Amino acid sequence: EVEKSRKEYKADALAYGKRIDTEAKRVFSLLSPIEDHLKGEESKITDEKDRIREEKARVERERVERIQQSIITIQQNAVDAVGKTAEEIQVTLDYLTTIKICYGVGVDQFTWALIIAWDMLQVWVYPIMI
């Protein structure tokens, strides 16, 4: 008899629990497509942010490479000046001042590179000329 009473009391609670589970499944079935859509949109945004970040990094790498290549050109001209006459060296110096390091920025704004080239000329070329 105790077991029968227990089952009767518990039946209402079980029925209530089943109604809660059924309603929860219904709500989740409505929310699932919305959540999936939002996850897809979030993924698109994340992918676009990654693409933008990678593009900025690529542009910066290319900018740095152009600057480095211009500096190498400046230094190579200094090395090539070995054995040249003063007039030829002046032509080289005139040329170096026309080099655009990047985005139209000239050597005059990168004076340290010009100073290095000038120092290389003084160390390697002028002692030979004397």
Per-residue pLDDT tens digits of the chain, which is 130 residues long: 888 888 888 998 999 999 999 999 999 999 999 999 999 999 999 999 999 999 999 998 988 888 788 778 777 877 777 787 888 877 877 777 776 655 555 555 556 666 676 676 666 655 555 5
Domain that holds residue 80: 2-129
Number of folded domains that form the chain:
1
Q: How many CB atoms lie within 10 A of CB 28?
A: 10
List residues bridging with 100 in a β-sheet: 106
Find how far residue 57's CA is from the centre of its chain.
3
> What tokens were used for 47?
């992918």
| pTM of the full structure | 0.51
Q: How far apart are CA 80 and CA 120, in angstroms?
A: 10
- How far apart, in whole angstroms, are the C-alpha atoms of residue 124 and residue 11? 101
Alpha carbon separation from 69 to 52, 78, 82 (Å, rounded)? 25, 14, 21
